[in-house]
Structure 1
Amino acid sequence: MAPVDSAVPLWQRVGRTAGLSGSVGQPRQAGVRQESRGVRQHRVQVMGRAGAGGLRCPAEEPVPGPRGGRGARRCREPVGPGRPVLALPRLSRVPRGQPAGLRERGTAASDRPSPRAGHTRQEQGDVVVPLTPQPNPPEPPDPLSMLRESPFPSQVLVALDYLAQGLLAPSFWAVNSLLDLQQTTEERRQQRMRCSHCCSCARRALAGLVYVAVLLLMLPLTVPGLLLWLPVQAARRPFAYQHTVGPAPAEPWDLRQRRTFTILSANVCLLPSGLAKFSNLGRTSQRAAYLARHLAPASPEPAGTRAGLVQPWHSQANCYGGTHSSWASSATVEVPVEAAELVPEPLVLSEHFPADADVICLQEVFDASAAAILCQRLGGSFPHIIHGVGGQGLQEGCLKLLNSGLLLASRYQPLAAQYHGFPNGAREDALAAKGLLTVQVLLGLVRGRRVVGYISCTHLQAPAADGAIRDAQLTLVLQWLGQFRREQEQPGDVVAFDVFCGDLNFDNCSRGDKLNQRHQLFEEYWDPCRQGPGQDVPWAIGTLLNYKKIYEEPVSTPEKMKRTLSQPAGRQQFLAGPILSNGDPDPAATSAWQGRRVDYILYRPPPTAALLRTEVAGFSVITQLATRSDHLPVSLRLHVAPTPS
């Protein structure tokens, strides 16, 4: 008989015994499902019906609840196929800012606890709360009671993790500081202005000796710390969920009205500073603070209601772009009139992040301090954040020193989330737990039916020569995406959008990426920047910068970078160009290339019979992270409207 985890609440153990999730010791899949306020109301509406016919119970009797309270209502007469119908107590609407627990009608407002605004609680792992009742299910708990700040199921493991990290901290600091002695091109330029090259080399050599000495002295602590850290990580859940009490929820969905959603994806290269130096970047904590400050405006606007930064632009058949709205002034492109007539500015470029982003998907958030900064500062604008995705330690026989680096922030509440790790990472990428994060969010309710959206984020194998590995990972991604939708979609669900994004580490212009360009993924998900394998639309632009030139004056600010990349000569100088299969530059590439576009946002077109249709309202390549990342963020705006009769 399997041992019982005393740290797991009784309702979770009962639910797992009933088949609602994997086993306690080793869950079948790493996922989390949460029940939102709107969904609890939806359950009350639909659970009084029987089957698809919608028959109601002709007679009900109360069922005593726990602790003498009022429980569910049970039908005294068979309905539909002859089985009683179990219905929950009637619930009143729960406003934002109050606990989302079950409440009876008539409860006095003074009896309802009110958490203070901005209070943050977290949930981690593979807990599953069923949205459809099982026969005689246990009383569901208040979802807020499940939100734990700790990523571990018990306080003992929390203490052991702190102890292991404390033992490893001196060695980690020494190694990171040693790697951080590398100089970025900007640091090298500033150093030459302050002192001689010989003086700089002497200082770094002396500092390197000190760091090596500290590393050797700390080995007696490092070895037991590592031996303790490895088994503790094996008990860690695959991701953390942070919920912050924020603004009031959006109004109920009206299928007659068009809604707009904006999704942002960015590779932010937030590695420990020493590792970031390999990408000519540093100052990880400062870059994380800058990123959070510009992703979370001081006065966020309601999700899906604002016109946004990216507007559609139609100039020819099957071609559109995006530009700014009036909330911030656009930079003037300083080019002669004659040149402007010959080389129009690509309207897809934008200097700022969209202020009305509904979902943000980040890659390469590897540094723990950077992730903490993002969670803290984004929480006010994005009440739901999934972070710390992917396990560390020994995973499937491989040592993972870094997690997946994925972080997802949403204005809408997740109903379910799942993480899958890639089993075929190779070379340096094998040290990171790269994989796929898939989330189902609740967008609203219509006549008792859930309106949901699907967001998926990934980061594929990086080395250019590993096209076959990326191809296998794309196949797994396609399989996992379909499996997640089949498992989470309920009868009657209305799907507003299904978006897949991330850093795929291949482009649509290089001869070396032909294998990945023809993958079946692009038959199920549509890329708005793509015309076909090896051919992009005319306005598409690369998202991978030449990392050795990111500090040069023409691209040193968002405004200057936008102005520079608006010209073919600027793109050829500062964007990474087409490559061969071994990663070398392609000598046969034409001079008119637009750069390597490795950051994608794709969406799945809805079926013809769907109640809602999804249309692209605009696409934007953003220069906000000039000098702070070697990638350009991308955003996609979608119009979701009722399908014409």
Structure 2
Amino acid sequence: MGLRESPYSSRFLGALNSGARAALFPSYWLLNQLLALQTTTAEKRQWHKRCPTFALWTVAKGLLLLPAFLLSLPFSLVAFLFWLPLQAARRPFAYQHTPERAPSGGEECPLLEGQGHTFSFLSGNVCLLPEGLAKFSNLGRSQWRAKHIGQILARAATGHRHCSRNGSGGPNGYGATGASPPRPCQRPLSTTIEMELDGEGDGAGEGRLWEVTARFPPQADFVCLQEVFDLRASASLCRSLGPIYPHILYDVGSYGLAGRAGLKVFNSGLFLASRHPILAVQYHCYPNGKGEDAFAAKGLLSVQVQLGSSHGQRIVGYLNCTHMHAPEADAQVRCDQMTLGLMWAQQFQDASTQPGDIVAFDIYCGDLNFDNCSEGDELEQSHDIFSVYTDPCRVGPREDKPWVIGTLMAYLEIYEEPVSTPESMKRTLEQPDGRRKFLAGPVLADGRPDPSATGCEGRRLDYIMYREHPGSLDLRTAVEKVSFITHLATCSDHLPFGLRLHVAPAAHMDEA
């Protein structure tokens, strides 16, 4: 049996859910329009110049929308009571499979031979909430941004990369196929990789293996996005990325009454696109959300992908994607979520691994909502997760490598000219003064800004970490590139983060 695309086991249940959502939509739309009456800093600047009476028009529009919203509530309440029990029958994700035009056959994967293979990962918080909520982060035009982000990622995914994408194995239980046929990496692995990432090799271009880049790295194998809460935005991303990424998980999360986690009216916001066939999926909802986060089904999405085969053994990879609790003052909530995440990730691997499987990589990524420089995040900085997974940007608690910059923007500044285009943002963030002005600064334990902090290059909330599985024929992993990406200037309040890993047999690593 393949992985079905609908989160419902029958068309009838899916149709009932669609009908309930349609009945709820008028109230949802009206409330969204009311919240969207607030203006972003860009809109204020624009409308004050073009329409001096804009404030009066906003009040008049609100006076029209509010009665309509109130009138829609009784009907929506009935629809909600019909929608709620349906969620108990819903699988916590939807799946899109786009058949490839030229599927690969059952060829062996040369990961265990020669120079090994390179895998590329992208992670980013794109703030694709309903527009009224996105404006609390100074971002509007959610549908336009979703289309634009999808187009940017699709163009990058078809670009050239000097180390080619890896081949995947043959037919699997989902009827999906792998990526394009394997080609060897043209760049020999070198022991200078770790030296350069530690800041000792500080050359330019290909010689420097960390970068602030105005373009997404080309041909990423996996894309993990956070805050894709809006379902229309999610559908737009699926349309854009489907032709390049045959396997997409979206609308991830539990709705309705999610056990100890309580009532959830938003999904997790997680969105994962893969070039490689998905073998197994598991999602867990964090049970300890508080405040505004309690209504979103934030959790951990764990995925097993098939990368190929070798002499009858499956070569697989694991991705664990998450978005953790946001309010700065709730450090213990995040620590508990990391503890649960580690346990769930291991349980998933124990359950989905078959005898003889070769594990090429094990990734833990997403928006963890704490940094490695703030005094207020000391509890999270010492969590056991950093003894299990390797963070390529980190030296230890409260100490990042010297080239690391923050990934959270100062949200009220995102439309300012120095950061208004990918190129200008890249130039700005390469300068210490630019980072201090346009990146969010460190925080105290209660969430207030820390004016006394020094030596912090902004809050790095977005992570891609990895760990090796020594039992998998003694494969070894080396970091080839770490990327801080400015391509989404004015489209998000986060910088996407990229990681390129080279996986090869230990014998080859020793020879290099």
Q: Does the TM-score normalized on the shorter chain lie above 0.5? A: yes
Q: Distance in 2 between matches of 1:488 and 1:386?
A: 18
CA deviation vs aligned residue, 1:529-577 (integer Å, no higher than 9, x gap):
0000000000011000000000000000000000000000000000011
Per-residue deviation at 1:377? 1.3
Q: Distance in 1 between matches of 2:288 and 2:495?
A: 27
Per-residue deviation at 1:624? 0.5
CA deviation vs aligned residue, 1:366-423 (integer Å, no higher than 9, x gap):
0000000111111111000111111111111621110000011000001111001101
Contact 2:210–2:481 at 8 Å: present in 1 too? Answer: no
CA deviation vs aligned residue, 1:236-267 (integer Å, no higher than 9, x gap):
11111111112433852111131000000000
Contact 2:255–2:265 at 8 Å: present in 1 too? Answer: yes
Q: How does 1:554-569 map to 2 (within 5 A)?
A: 554-569=418-433
Which residue is 1:164 aligned to?
20
Task: Say whether 1:318 aligns with 2:173.
Answer: no
Q: 2:69 aligns with which of 182, 205, 215?
A: 215
C-alpha RMSD over aligned residues:
2.3
Which residue is 2:477 aligned to?
614
Q: 1:527 aligns with which of 377, 380, 391?
A: 391
Per-residue deviation at 1:605? 2.9
Larger Rg: 1
Taking a change above 3 Å as real, the CA distance of residues 170 and 321 of structure 1, as seen in their structure-2 partners, is farther
Q: Distance in 1 between matches of 2:197 and 2:227?
A: 37
Q: 2:407 aligns with which of 543, 553, 564?
A: 543
CA deviation vs aligned residue, 1:573-617 (integer Å, no higher than 9, x gap):
000111001111112201x42100000000013327743111111
**Secondary structure of the structure 1 residue equivalent to 2:83:** helix
Taking a change above 3 Å as real, the CA distance of residues 308 and 503 of structure 1, as seen in their structure-2 partners, is farther
Contact 2:117–2:184 at 8 Å: present in 1 too? Answer: no
Which residue is 1:579 aligned to?
443
Per-residue deviation at 1:147? 2.8
Q: 2:104 aligns with which of 238, 249, 265?
A: 249
Q: 1:480 aligns with which of 334, 340, 344?
A: 344
Task: Say whether 1:178 aligns with 2:34.
Answer: yes
Contact 1:389–1:407 at 8 Å: present in 2 too? Answer: yes
Taking a change above 3 Å as real, the CA distance of residues 610 and 532 of structure 1, as seen in their structure-2 partners, is farther
Per-residue deviation at 1:299? 4.0
Q: 1:434 aligns with which of 286, 291, 298?
A: 298
Which residue is 2:216 aligned to?
353
- In structure 1, give the amino acid aligned to 2:422: P
- In structure 2, give the amino acid aligned to 1:201: A
**Secondary structure of the structure 1 residue equivalent to 2:459:** coil
Which residue is 2:256 aligned to?
393
Per-residue deviation at 1:306? 8.6
Contact 1:308–1:356 at 8 Å: present in 2 too? Answer: no
Contact 1:541–1:595 at 8 Å: present in 2 too? Answer: yes
Which structure has more relative contact order (CA 8 Å, sep 6+)? It is: 2
Taking a change above 3 Å as real, the CA distance of residues 540 and 380 of structure 1, as seen in their structure-2 partners, is same
Q: Distance in 2 between matches of 1:346 and 1:497?
A: 20
Contact 1:612–1:642 at 8 Å: present in 2 too? Answer: yes
Q: Distance in 1 between matches of 2:108 and 2:282?
A: 26
Contact 1:323–1:350 at 8 Å: present in 2 too? Answer: no
Per-residue deviation at 1:162? 2.2
Which residue is 1:451 aligned to?
315
**Secondary structure of the structure 2 residue equivalent to 1:440:** strand
Q: Distance in 2 between matches of 1:425 and 1:321?
A: 42
Which residue is 1:70 aligned to?
none
**Secondary structure of the structure 2 residue equivalent to 1:464:** coil
Per-residue deviation at 1:324? 5.9
Contact 1:239–1:386 at 8 Å: present in 2 too? Answer: yes
Taking a change above 3 Å as real, the CA distance of residues 608 and 167 of structure 1, as seen in their structure-2 partners, is closer
Contact 1:178–1:211 at 8 Å: present in 2 too? Answer: yes
Taking a change above 3 Å as real, the CA distance of residues 207 and 543 of structure 1, as seen in their structure-2 partners, is same
Q: Distance in 2 between matches of 1:436 and 1:533?
A: 24
Which residue is 1:282 aligned to?
140
Per-residue deviation at 1:491? 1.6
Q: Distance in 2 between matches of 1:564 and 1:523?
A: 34
**Secondary structure of the structure 1 residue equivalent to 2:340:** helix
Q: How does 1:41-190 map to 2 (within 5 A)?
A: 141=1, 143=2, 147-148=4-5, 150-190=6-46
**Secondary structure of the structure 2 residue equivalent to 1:348:** strand
- In structure 2, give the amino acid aligned to 1:506: F
**Secondary structure of the structure 2 residue equivalent to 1:233:** helix
Contact 1:571–1:594 at 8 Å: present in 2 too? Answer: yes
Which residue is 1:604 aligned to?
467
Per-residue deviation at 1:220? 2.8
Contact 2:358–2:472 at 8 Å: present in 1 too? Answer: no
What is the identity percentage for the equivalent residue pairs of Structure 1 and Structure 2?
52
Which residue is 1:201 aligned to?
55
Q: Distance in 2 between matches of 1:285 and 1:307?
A: 38
**Secondary structure of the structure 1 residue equivalent to 2:415:** coil
Q: 2:94 aligns with which of 202, 219, 240?
A: 240
Q: 1:369 aligns with which of 208, 219, 232?
A: 232
Q: Distance in 2 between matches of 1:292 and 1:267?
A: 13
Contact 1:170–1:218 at 8 Å: present in 2 too? Answer: yes
TM-score for the superposition, normalised by structure 1: 0.71
